[in-house]
Amino acid sequence: MPIPTPANTLFFLCDLQSVFRSSISGFDHLIFSTNKLLKLANIIGCEVVSCTQASRALGPLDPAIDLKSLGPLHVGTFDKTSFSMITPEIQALLLARPNVKNIVLFGIEAHICVLQTALALLQPTFRSEPYTPYVIADCLASHNAWEVPIVLQRLQQEGAFVSTTESIGFQLIGDSKHPNFRVFSQMIKESKEGTERAGEALLGGGCKKTQQEPTLSAVFKTSAL
């Protein structure tokens, strides 16, 4: 297992689109955790790849996601119709980065696109060695909240690692002598309350859906792709 470092790690943001805002429990907490991970990527210099699911029907990523702050570290947003993020475009992107061994994976929906992306990374058909997915538990959701612990258990059984925004941050920083450790430490302090709320909401059942709004499966039934 390659130890995750900024040099061998890529961030994958999966399908955090505005259309799902009302159907995903704790959507605003997902946005918070996503922006925390993007700040981390900026601090340590990790590239970020984002995807949308059938954007012609389902629309763009939520505008509250601060991808602009990444500058060139944001490799791009790729649209897909497959549920896995590992499309031919992203396969090519990965093959062009042979140093990448680890993928920090987060977004929605846990039991569909995140799961299928992680499984495709664990058993790649386009290179000889698998990748190691680090699935971020406090930046993950499904429209049925009970799906998430089942998915996390399955992914651990398959060989993925389950982590959190704070844990993966400290793992990637690695040492208090890191040149950007003070910036990272300040980010951790400033995000403390939001991190606690996100963890409680996304992992502790603290958020409830208040209305029936579009889910991925429901939108696919009513929208032409």
pTM: predicted TM-score of the whole model, two decimal places? 0.90
pLDDT for res 221: 41
Rounded to whole angstroms, the maximal C-alpha distance in the chain is 53
Residue 34 CA to residue 57 CA, distance in Å, equals 23
6-222 classified as CATH 1.10.150.20: no
Beta pairing class for 102-108 and 74-80: unpaired
Residue 201 CA to residue 27 CA, distance in Å, equals 10
Sheet with strand 9-14: strands edge to edge: 74-80, 48-53, 9-14, 102-108, 132-141, 161-163
pLDDT for res 2: 73
Q: Is the peptide bond before 109 cis (omega within 30 degrees of 0)?
A: yes
Q: What is the DSSP string of 190-214?
A: HTHHHHHHHHHHHHS------S---
- Mean pLDDT per 10-residue section of the chain, whose length is 225 residues: 91 97 92 98 98 97 97 98 97 97 97 97 93 97 93 96 97 96 97 96 61 46 42
pLDDT for res 66: 97
pLDDT for res 61: 98
pLDDT for res 216: 52
